[in-house]
Amino acid sequence: MSQVLDTPPPIQAPADDLKALAARHGLSVSGARPSLPEYVRQLWARRHFITAFATAKLTAQYSEAKLGQVWQVMTPLLNAAVYYFIFGVLLGTKKGVPDYIPFLVTGVFVWTFTQSSIQVGTRAISGNLGLVRALHFPRAALPISFCIQQLQQLLFSMAALVVILLCFGVPVSASWLLVIPALVLQFTFNAGVAMIMARWGAKTPDIAQLMPFILRTWMYVSGVMWSIDKLTKKDHLPHVVMVLLQTNPAAVYIDLMRFALIDSFHAKQLPPHVWPIAVGWALLAGLGGFIYFWKSEETYGRG
Amino acid sequence: MAEQSEQIQQTTHRTQQTGQIMQSERIPTVVADGVDIVYRINGTGSGRGSATAALNRIMRRKQAEKAAGVRRVHAVKNVSFVAYKGEAIGLIGTNGSGKSTLLKAVAGLLPVENGHIYTHGQPSLLGVNAALMNDLTGERNVHLGGLAMGMSREQIKERYQGIVDFSGINEKGDFITLPMRTYSSGMAARLRFSIAAAKDHDVLLIDEALATGDRRFQVRSEERIRELRETAGTVFLVSHNNNSIRDTCERTLWLERGELRLDGPTEEVLKEYEAFTGDKSNKTAKKPAPKKAA
């Protein structure tokens, strides 16, 4: 490496003057975190990107399949068919729940929405480092966009669900309109949790390996396949466990959806104070998750 | 005092080259002030990738980076420069000398260890690649890429035809409505450049983008970069193609092993650089040497 010696020494510039020069012309430090209101403004400015990215991901999913977008409805229908086969035909279990198949399928679809939002949220930053390192945008756009993609997926599932409900003789009623507030609240909750997970996942990608186990445990305690109401009616459970089961956000959103859609699922089967709890979880996770995610904005995709 | 002499030194460089920009009009757009950039890499060292090494790393995160097998790579060392509005600056240096790293730091996408980088507006890397999806049509990718760069829907609609025409995708048939996975690598690269170059950037950072596409597209790209420079602000170009630097930039920074070796008019820096790399071809090689047919 004698060549290196032949070249002139590196140029050194005086540091103080450069700082003063930058200050005089109002230059800002590159890559600094914006204030919270500014961040919200930037995010709002990118709203079209957020939705376009979600839709693009969704359509890209089945673009190589011959049936194409038909799979958007086929996949949830097939899912439901599998559950019907196992629980309705093989096990023949109704567990004392009227309209068990609609009960089960509603639970599965609504749970899947929360589960996959959290899963994609965990990988929202760590799985898209290329994008994060190439372009400037508020990083919260990624977890939110992925949650919107899951919401779009759920809407396709809901279309399949309506078919199933009608097949099982569940009447159409005005209470179906309650689906809208329930979905808005659940989406807010999901997006919040997804943002929290995105920050953790960005720092420690290993979390993505743990999530399947945590989520499966959460699913089993959330009454996806059984009725929490039946369990809590018995007296042998400690009070703490009962309260935990009833305030579990996943269970709350699942039961709200069942209440909205299935006529044999009565208001008295809902946990007490269900709407305030649903709103509380949405606000807590949504706002808290957003602020928590923003706090670390400048570190995503670096190092 | 020292700053004045610095400015004078800079202007003398430039007046020889262009002479059209007066000293009073010179507005700095990027100021790098003693910048150090260090990469930390997990999973090196003696217990490479083993479970104990990983545990060690988690337990003693801060105290003993080195013992836990984290290696530090000092990629850019104490680099300072001032870039002005209307300049096109070439970045040259042998592989692994820190050119791309420096660009990423200017874009605010990598943290600096020491020193500061001040910028006017938001410098952007010319790269929408990551936002595009191969399974979508070229048409949808133009929209998606534009939105990802922060353009509004109206802006994209306005410039859509321009982007498609510039990319030349439709010259050989209606390819823009086909999924991008069906494009040849050259076609895809041209579309990506066209999308990225459609936005007006304050400070534009280009990393070897001109090496893609055929000669005709390269000429068009260089023209577009000159346009961007006039309307926007400052252009940085990283390239191993000295002719492309010569055609586009009047000022060049030479990075070697993370250190800024030379900063001056392109011709002078390139002469030194070519002497350093032992490139005899110099100006005569306007065209890249023809490759042997496979």
Task: Answer whether residue B238 shows pLDDT above 80.
Answer: yes
Which amino acid, one-letter code, is at B156?
I
Task: Answer whether residue A187 shows pLDDT above 90.
Answer: yes
Closest chain B C-alpha to A66 CA, distance in angstroms: 14
The Cβ of residue B122 has, within 10 Å, a number of other Cβ atoms equal to 15
> How many angstroms separate the CA atoms of A288 and B261, rounded?
49
CA-nearest of B38, B36, B31 to B114 is: B36
Res A277: pLDDT: 93
Res A145: pLDDT: 96
**Cα dihedral across residues B285, B291, B292, B293: positive or negative:** negative
Res B25: pLDDT: 59
Can you tell me whether residue B60 is helix, strand or coil? coil
Poorest-pLDDT segment among A184-193, B126-135, B169-178, B245-254: B126-135
The widest CA-to-CA distance across chain B, in whole angstroms, is 63
Closest chain A C-alpha to B111 CA, distance in angstroms: 7
Res A2: pLDDT: 40
Tell me how far the alpha carbon of residue B255 is from its chain's centroid.
Answer: 13
pLDDT in tens, A269-298: 888 888 999 999 999 999 999 999 999 988
Poorest-pLDDT segment among B162-166, B201-205, B250-254: B201-205
pLDDT in tens, B20-75: 444 445 788 888 888 888 887 766 555 555 666 666 666 665 555 555 567 788 88
Closest chain A C-alpha to B293 CA, distance in angstroms: 34
Exposed / middle / buried, residue B5 (Cβ in 10 Å: 0-12, 13-18, 19+) = exposed
CA-nearest of B224, B223, B229, B160 to B201 is: B229
Can you tell me whether residue B163 is helix, strand or coil? helix
Task: Answer whether residue A200 shows pLDDT above 90.
Answer: yes
For residue A28, give both structure tokens. 């800002």
> How many angstroms separate the CA atoms of B110 and A59, rounded?
32
Is some CB atom of chain B closer than 8 A to the CB atom of A209? no
Res A184: pLDDT: 96
Q: What percent of chain A has pLDDT over 90?
A: 41
pLDDT in tens, A202-217: 888 888 889 999 999 9
Task: Answer whether residue B88 shows pLDDT above 90.
Answer: no
Beta carbons of A12 and B78 less than 8 Å apart = yes
Rg (Cα) of chain A, in Å, rounded?
A: 24
Integer angstrom CA distances of residue B169 from A243, B144, B185, B190, B191:
62, 17, 12, 8, 7
What residues of chain A lie within 8 A of the CB of B40, using their CB? 303
Res B160: pLDDT: 92
Which amino acid, one-letter code, is at B147?
L
What are the φ/ψ torsions at residue B111 (nearest 5 degrees)? -80, 150
Q: Are A154 and A113 in contact (CB under 8 A)?
A: yes
Task: Answer whether residue A117 shows pLDDT above 80.
Answer: yes
> How many angstroms separate the CA atoms of B196 and A225, rounded?
49
Res A129: pLDDT: 84
Is some CB atom of chain B closer than 8 A to the CB atom of A276? no
| A135 → closest Cβ in B6, B135, B148 | B148
> How many angstroms separate the CA atoms of B28 and B117, rounded?
12
- Indicate the pairing of strand B251-256 with strand B88-92: parallel
Pick among A11, A59, A129 to test the B interface (most B CBs inside 10 A): A11
What residues of chain A lie within 8 A of the CB of B118, using their CB? 19, 22, 27-30
Q: What percent of chain A has pLDDT over 70?
A: 92
Can you tell me whether residue A203 is helix, strand or coil? helix
What residues of chain B lie within 8 A of the CB of A131, using their CB? 130-131, 148
> What is the chain A residue with the closest CA to B108?
A31
Which of the four pLDDT bands, split at 50, 70 and 90, describes residue B128?
A: low
Which of the four pLDDT bands, split at 50, 70 and 90, describes residue A6?
A: very low
What residues of chain A lie within 8 A of the CB of B124, using their CB? 135-136
Which residues of A, range 37-76, sit inside 8 Å of B by Cβ?
45-46, 48-49, 52-53, 56-57, 59-60, 63-64
Task: Answer whether residue B7 shows pLDDT above 60.
Answer: no
Res B10: pLDDT: 47
Strand order in the sheet with B251-256: B124-125, B203-207, B234-238, B88-92, B251-256, B259-265
Q: State the angle between helix axes of B185-197 and B153-167 in degrees (0 to 180), rounded to the nearest 10.
A: 140
For residue B92, give both structure tokens. 């040259």
Task: Answer whether residue B12 shows pLDDT above 50.
Answer: no
Pick among B23, B36, B58, B116 to test the A interface (most A CBs inside 10 A): B116
Q: Are B143 and A52 in contact (CB under 8 A)?
A: yes
| Greater pLDDT, A242 or A110 | A110
What residues of chain B lie within 8 A of the CB of A137, using their CB? 148, 150
Q: In the beta sheet, which residues pair with residue B118?
A: A29, B31
> How many angstroms separate the CA atoms of A53 and B90, rounded?
34
Q: Are A196 and A292 in contact (CB under 8 A)?
A: yes
ipTM: 0.78
Strand order in the sheet with B114-119: A28-29, B114-119, B28-41, B71-84
CB within 8 Å of A83: residues ≥ 6 apart = A101, A104, A105, A108
What residues of chain A lie within 8 A of the CB of B263, using their CB? 11
Q: Angle CA(B257)–CA(B261)–CA(B262) in degrees, nearest 5?
A: 145
Q: Are B93 and B254 in contact (CB under 8 A)?
A: yes
Task: Answer whether residue B11 shows pLDDT above 60.
Answer: no
Beta carbons of A22 and B122 less than 8 Å apart = no
Q: How many CB pairs under 8 A join A and B?
A: 166
Res B249: pLDDT: 86
Res A251: pLDDT: 92
Q: Are A124 and A110 in contact (CB under 8 A)?
A: no
> How many angstroms separate the CA atoms of B200 and A279, rounded?
43
pTM: 0.79
Closest chain A C-alpha to B203 CA, distance in angstroms: 12
Task: Answer whether residue B237 shows pLDDT above 90.
Answer: no
Which amino acid, one-letter code, is at B89?
I
Res B4: pLDDT: 47
Q: Are A7 and B261 in contact (CB under 8 A)?
A: yes
| Alpha helices by DSSP H, A36-175 | 36-45, 47-61, 71-83, 100-122, 129-134, 141-167
